[in-house]
Amino acid sequence: MTDLAPTYRMSDSEGPSLPTPLPEPAASEIRLERVMGVLADPLRLTIVNRLLTSSEEYDHTCGWFGFDRPKSSLTHHFKALREAGVIRQRQHGLERRSRVRIEDLDERFPGLVELIANWQPADGEAV
């Protein structure tokens, strides 16, 4: 198994008072076909993988990833992940910060989070 970031099992109730999450499906409403659909995009799969394996703090803005993409494009990808129930986003001032909904995904689809954490792009695959 891949070494996961220190925040891998951190619950949403930990830490200072957090802003309310942006609209997202309830855990019981997360559908496998939507999750698999959004994760079929290599950029989105990379986002989730990095949040699981490289994140050292609670959550991150889209700029943390260092992708050479327009902000509007990244915003679209993060929104798709949130609306599918893969990530949780909170508005911190002008920034939206994201983290994987690990507990919800583990409960609904055991083993999926570990598969994502262990995923590696194919040789030469750029995101």
Query: Is the CA virtual torsion 52, 78, 65, 127 positive or negative?
Result: positive
Average pLDDT over residues 5-32: 69
Q: What band does 11 get if pLDDT is binned at 50, 70 and 90?
A: very low
Q: How far apart are CA 39 and CA 80, in angstroms?
A: 10
Average pLDDT over residues 68-77: 75
Q: Is the pLDDT of residue 119 over 80?
A: yes
Bridge partners, 95 (sequence order): 92
Average pLDDT over residues 70-89: 87
Q: How far apart are CA 85 and CA 28, in angstroms?
A: 10
Element (H, E) at 49: helix 42-53
Architecture of the CATH domain 24-118: Orthogonal Bundle (1.10)
How much is the pTM? 0.76
Q: How far apart are CA 12 and CA 23, in angstroms?
A: 15
